[in-house]
Chains A and B, each alone.
Chain A
């Protein structure tokens, strides 16, 4: 069965410091991997994805994520955090062999809090 683990309920960083939000996955085949962000009273917004190719993918708002097949991880990173990055972050996975209509499997989410 496919699953996603986000081991931290909350990550606290100071503005200007680098941030990492962790994600590990389990799928039967090769994965498509996604990060979404949810601001209060808003829907999930797509940040970035790993489909194939370079293991380091860049996305919106200066975020990037590194796909590590051996560790089955896809950690979200940003070199310098902003207070406005404070939100709930979700990692999601889909089996590469799936068709376009197949569900995304989400982690439970990690709350990122950036202090000024």
Chain B
């Protein structure tokens, strides 16, 4: 069964550094998403992406964040200057463009630790 994959599984970085989290969505999916989950809190939506542009973004997704589809398979989340409060589990998800059922398929997550 096709799966969403994410790398790395764990990323440790110092405050102020840039990080790039990588995702490979399911191959025939055209909508892509990033969510995050701070330890002990809800899963929160960050951004959705379709047809090489942002479809929707939350208040969390400020100018420090950016997303990109650099090639036909990868979908990346960049945090330009990490803060301590960016420490969280980051989940990538994808869904079919033509599906009206709207379920999203999630990757295993990248745990980001900012020190």
Please list the residues of chain A having a beta carbon within 8 angstroms of any beta carbon in chain B: 32, 34, 36, 41-46, 49, 51, 90, 94, 99-109
CB pair B108–A100 under 8 Å, yes or no, is no
Chain B positions within 8 Å of A104 at CB level: 45, 104
Please list the residues of chain B having a beta carbon within 8 angstroms of any beta carbon in chain A: 4, 6, 31, 33, 35, 41-45, 48-50, 55-56, 58, 91, 93, 95-97, 99-109
CB pair B33–A103 under 8 Å, yes or no, is yes
Whole-angstrom distance from the CB of A47 to the nearest CB of chain B? 10
- Checking B4, B48, B106 against A36 with a beta-carbon cut-off of 8 angstroms, the contacting residue is B106
CB pair A42–B42 under 8 Å, yes or no, is no
Chain A positions within 8 Å of B99 at CB level: 100
Whole-angstrom distance from the CB of A51 to the nearest CB of chain B? 6
- Checking A44, A49, A108 against B42 with a beta-carbon cut-off of 8 angstroms, the contacting residue is A108
Chain A positions within 8 Å of B103 at CB level: 34, 46, 49
CB pair A42–B55 under 8 Å, yes or no, is no
Chain B positions within 8 Å of A46 at CB level: 103-106
Closest to A45 in B: B106
Closest to A32 in B: B102
CB pair B91–A101 under 8 Å, yes or no, is no
